[in-house]
Structure 1
Amino acid sequence: MPKIGLAKFVILTLFILCLSGSSCFLSHAFQAQALTIAQKQTTSDFQSRSSIEKHPKVLTIPQEPTLIAQKTANCAPVESGKIHRFIDGMDSCVAPMTEQEIGENLNDPFATAILRKGIFPDSVDAIVTEVSNSGLNLQQANYLLGEGSQIPTTVASREEPRNLRYVLTWGTSPTSSAQILLNAPPGRDSSFLQVISWNAQAKKYNFYEFRAQVGETDNISTRVWVWAGDSPMAHAPQTMGHGCFDCHHNGVVIMKELAFPWNNWHSQRAIISPLNVPLAVAQEQIFQNLNGAENLERAIRSGFQIYYQNWLRDRIKNEEGTIRLTDVSEMLRHLTTNTTINFASTNIESKGENTSPANSDISGIPNDFFLWDSALKTALNLNYTIEPIKFKRNDYDNYLKIHNFKLVQSDFTKPDGSPLYEENGSTYFAFFVPVPSAEDLFILTQMRSAKILTDKFIAALLMVDFKNPVFSEKRTSLQQYAEQVTTGTIMNGVSSIPDEFANKVKAVAASQPDCDPANLDTCSTEQQFLFTWNLPDDQWKTSVQQRIQTYLDEINNLSESERLDRLMRLAVKRRSQFQSWPTIKNLQEFSLLLPQTDLPQ
């Protein structure tokens, strides 16, 4: 029987003692209910977060919120038949909500049609039944993902842990914004139930968990439905980075692999075979009626777009012809930092035996891997060319072999302490890498459309350390100036934000030593921003396009072997940054998400 490794056991023990209640939804990083090793079932596959060395912090990177120790004693027993509250970072015990609290906060369909009617489903099947009988007239859609879902049974038997979990949604259609979303393990395992439900009245999401009292033994008889917070709490000082918001960084529904071909998800591009999952899962009605991730992508995009449109509308007010802006620093954070991350890949399977035709070359590296192409070209309409790059199949396969790429199931171990299983090679689809998020891109386009920001200002921000579209310490440091610009105005179509921000940058840059504009990579953050910002309005676009094209040509002019090595090493670096970057690292909880290699991290 597989066991949890020593490091995992220590983390689980600490988790039981602290009961930080951390959890994620619609991501590949769901926090487990604290279970003993004997209780762990292979069909649930939920694990406590791995211990990952933190990324070295610099003063310009927002510090992670300090975890608040939760009391493990003096908590009153939960009360059956009542809705409770436990907001991690604010509450020390699970406690019943008052009728006033419920009326003020819980006006989403999961609350109004189920919980507030005294109905408390305790399993996936029970939730499905109650939503169906609620009179909400919503359509159900079923989705499945798992980092080990494509690992062949010659490597791991179907019964061994593959980090499988269901996502169920209810909406007016499978592709519309979901009103209720459920995350749970398959195989009739109800050890972890989490719901997100859209509160149309307040224009925000509510988060719920089915859990036990702090410090109590967790079993179905001691669990109650708990309100775990709402969207705005994702950015509140007490709750930011805690509980549901350690992964839902912006308080919205998320899906890391948000674009074709949806690595790890059951989809039109890669089905999850019933022979690759435990027999109990394959026999479930939910599994037998799966929808493809291509539908969930549309539902998730619609969900966060509706939220952000309302969020921005509340912060843009027209007062007698003058548009007044509030929370500007939070708007700008979506440009200066990566508020969250998506993953993208090629459409070519890593293993040649899985491609059609067999042994196809590797092509289609995501453009956003090289720079934030979705913003610079698609949104700002800049003109440059990313030449197609192709890796010959033999070269790619040999590179993986020489550098010992492999997927390792180290969340569970054999009796001797070694990983439960491992498979040579990389992720199912080749070149699976972190890229800027669709959420940040959407906010950027909305601010541009609302004339809050100009194209020149956006370009000046994004051209700071532009070769690193994710995890840029230099670009992140610009948030210190954004924090000083909390409000603004738009008068006669002209926003005050760009000039006010630029003036604050200029004040600091004035005391910095000169740098060589021919080698901007060595210049300070402020100097890189001002290089673009200070260009004449009729020249900045040409200059930016030339800088980008020069960088892309350098990559294209490398020999095939040099280009393969450079890009593979860069991919490994980006994955390592993802695993260690403050807050973002919470999105990885399973060892099978990314391959291991002997290349320097």
Structure 2
Amino acid sequence: MATAASNTTQQDQTSCKVFRRLDPAALTPDSIHRLVVGEDTSLRVLTQTEATVELGDPFATMLLLRGTFPRTAGEVLAAFEQLTGTDDPPKGPMFFLVGDGSQIPVTPETVDLARNMRFLVTLGNGPEGADVLFSSFQPEEGNVELMAWDRATGGFNYYQTVGESSAWVFAGNSRHALVEPSEGEGPFESHPSGNFIMKELRSPWINWHSPAAPIMPSAFSDDDPLRNHPWVAGKEPSGAITLETSVARPGIERWTRARFAAIVANGGQINRPERIIRQILTSPAINLISSHNVSANAASSDTVELPQTFFVDSSLTDIAGLAPPPPFAVPGEIYTQSLQTFDVKLTDGAKFVQPGDTHFAFVVPERAFEDQAVLAEAARVGLVTLRLAACLLMVDFPNPIFSTRRRGLLAHVPSSATLADGAGAFSDAFADAIVAAATEPGTPERDFADRWTLKDGWKESFDAELAAYFTAVTDRLTTQAGFDDYFRLAESRRDRVRTMPIAESPLLFASTNIPPTPRTMTANGTVQEG
């Protein structure tokens, strides 16, 4: 087996940027290379036999394994379009457009602003999502990222081109995100559970072209070749609506079902249940959500609607069946005053500065849909009971993401589980371990234990607890001091996201003068610092 590059360093193995560091000249043209970071110590060329065994997705079987090696995103699409009907090629395409600065028109002052405009193209769109998805900043340039569903083994296969080389690098399958030593390495730093990422998953889909915020020709300069490019002109009319409902959600659910189906096929044996529970208790991934109010109109608005999931995990309602929260909103004048108090502005950290918030107001992280899908599937197969899920999520419930208290419960996850033991066996064992450790008041273990002992009356008790919290939050939203506290809390959560690989541009969030420090919400609706 040929090798084609120097060994990766330990630092490389913790970053998806490893592929950007590869030297295009070190790759063998028109070849499939393999670099599953953490598992492979060096880049190597796969033989035809090796590639045929490992790669069962349509990109590999219909193009690469037949000797077709497109160099750019445009060539990928053209190669699929040239396939005949007897090949049963994936149908499509659909074009989507996103950019962190997509709502900032090009003017003489902003012409040099990096808007991070990029395309997503999907093929083979069906009830379970797309079979092939690829992303590129320019259709006629290299450095293409591609995912394709493996029809033989399940999961998405991840591919990458490097510069202008015609070689493709296979970076792993979704299942590599879940096992050592590839877990969290290479592309799975950004895709921690092996899923497709649409970080702005829900309406109003800030940054994506959509009816709520169309990406207009004014976002491109007059001489930009993309301004009149067919992919721009032919972008999906409903944009992010279609991407969410027809690509992202079904694709995430597809991989999640396949992941648990593999467990069932293995006799229900789970050697690392902590890997599943981590997606319930912690925030390995996030989505972004915002108000539906355009921030520029806030001053003239009676109220600015706020995302419910900033205040509470929607899984408590959608999966555990608890009562939903009320709508949350802040008076427009209070929101506007907070923008002034905290010197809120959009900036690229260089020349561009625009006073005010992002296009849609109050962009904040929320619990990732991919983690909610894991919880739902874990409940469906009987690994986690709804009672256990509710008791876990009610620990530190005012902080639906980035909760250090809930994270502490991971210490009590049993080392293995078997679905064949019957519904609730793992849940009881996990709960018993937490309760046994609940010796001190004020600990997350005691919080859990107090709720677990409620047994049949847990729903009514939790609903009452949440209702009191929602009332406290609603009351504080009517005051400047209350919303200022929530704005500071939001900035603390944004600061966490800024350290994540999905934060690729300073335009993702507005900047503020708020000092970086940890902040947490309490059950009485107040915010604590430190």
Do these two structures clear the TM 0.5 threshold for a shared fold by scoring above it? yes
Partner of 1:539: 457
Which amino acid in 1 is paired with 2:81?
A: S
8 Å Cα contact 2:19/2:160 also seen in 1: no
Residues 408-465 of structure 1: per-residue CA shift (max 9 Å, x gap): 113xxxxxxxx13121111111111101111111222222233322222111111111
Matched, 1:370 2:311: yes
Structure 1, unpaired ranges of 5+: 1-14, 25-30, 35-69, 212-218, 411-418, 516-522
Partner of 1:404: 343
Matched, 1:103 2:52: yes
SS at match of 1:351: helix
The alignment's TM-score, normalised by the length of structure 2, stands at 0.88
User: d(CA) in 1 for partners of 2:334 and 2:211?
Assistant: 29
Q: Which moved more, 1:444-453 or 1:118-127?
A: 444-453
8 Å Cα contact 2:304/2:335 also seen in 1: no
User: d(CA) in 2 for partners of 1:190 and 1:17?
Assistant: 30
SS at match of 2:226: helix
Matched, 1:314 2:233: no
SS at match of 2:20: coil
Which of 120, 131, 143 matches 1:179?
A: 131
The alignment's TM-score, normalised by the length of structure 1, stands at 0.78
Q: 1:382 to 1:20 in 2, by over 3 A?
A: closer
SS at match of 2:357: coil
Identity, % of aligned positions: 28
User: d(CA) in 1 for partners of 2:195 and 2:431?
Assistant: 31
Matches within 5 A, 1:385-464: 386-410=325-349, 419-464=350-395
Shift of 1:478: 1.3
Which of 127, 133, 148 matches 1:197?
A: 148
User: d(CA) in 1 for partners of 2:474 and 2:29?
Assistant: 65
Partner of 1:381: 321
Partner of 1:564: 483
Which amino acid in 1 is paired with 2:72?
A: S
SS at match of 2:348: strand
8 Å Cα contact 1:337/1:479 also seen in 2: no
Matches within 5 A, 1:178-257: 178-186=130-138, 188-211=139-162, 219-220=163-164, 222=165, 224-257=167-200
User: d(CA) in 2 for partners of 1:284 and 1:318?
Assistant: 49
Residues 136-165 of structure 1: per-residue CA shift (max 9 Å, x gap): 041101111111111233484345321111
Partner of 2:106: 153
Q: 1:578 to 1:21 in 2, by over 3 A?
A: closer
Residues 283-342 of structure 1: per-residue CA shift (max 9 Å, x gap): 2111111110111112111111111112112213597xxx66554333222211123111
Matched, 1:293 2:246: no
Which amino acid in 1 is paired with 2:466?
A: I
8 Å Cα contact 1:146/1:265 also seen in 2: yes
Shift of 1:490: 4.8
Q: Which moved more, 1:126-135 or 1:84-93?
A: 84-93
Q: Which moved more, 1:130-139 or 1:140-149?
A: 130-139
Shift of 1:134: 2.3
User: d(CA) in 1 for partners of 2:177 and 2:269?
Assistant: 24
Residues 394-416 of structure 1: per-residue CA shift (max 9 Å, x gap): 33223212211111113xxxxxx
User: d(CA) in 2 for partners of 1:228 and 1:105?
Assistant: 12
SS at match of 2:456: coil
User: d(CA) in 2 for partners of 1:572 and 1:200?
Assistant: 42
Which amino acid in 2 is paired with 1:182?
A: F
User: d(CA) in 2 for partners of 1:83 and 1:144?
Assistant: 28
Residues 477-496 of structure 1: per-residue CA shift (max 9 Å, x gap): 212222x24213455x6421
Matches within 5 A, 1:321-340: 327-340=272-285
Matches within 5 A, 1:269-284: 269-278=212-221, 279-284=224-229
Q: 1:333 to 1:155 in 2, by over 3 A?
A: farther
User: d(CA) in 2 for partners of 1:348 and 1:441?
Assistant: 26
Which amino acid in 2 is paired with 1:315?
A: I
Structure 2, unpaired ranges of 5+: 1-7, 517-530
Which amino acid in 1 is paired with 2:461?
A: S
Which amino acid in 2 is paired with 1:149?
A: S
User: d(CA) in 2 for partners of 1:478 and 1:17?
Assistant: 30
Shift of 1:244: 1.0
8 Å Cα contact 1:363/1:388 also seen in 2: no
SS at match of 1:457: helix
Which amino acid in 1 is paired with 2:200?
A: E
8 Å Cα contact 2:96/2:209 also seen in 1: yes
SS at match of 1:557: helix
Q: 1:450 to 1:145 in 2, by over 3 A?
A: same
8 Å Cα contact 1:328/1:488 also seen in 2: no
8 Å Cα contact 1:315/1:326 also seen in 2: no
Which of 58, 63, 87 matches 1:114?
A: 63
Matched, 1:529 2:529: no
Residues 15-39 of structure 1: per-residue CA shift (max 9 Å, x gap): 9997669449xxxxxx9835xxxxx
Partner of 2:473: 555
Which of 201, 206, 211 matches 1:258?
A: 201
Residues 55-105 of structure 1: per-residue CA shift (max 9 Å, x gap): xxxxxxxxxxxxxxx9x9xx9943223211122233343321123320221
Which amino acid in 1 is paired with 2:433?
A: K
SS at match of 2:437: helix
User: d(CA) in 2 for partners of 1:430 and 1:18?
Assistant: 37
8 Å Cα contact 1:490/1:496 also seen in 2: no
SS at match of 2:254: helix
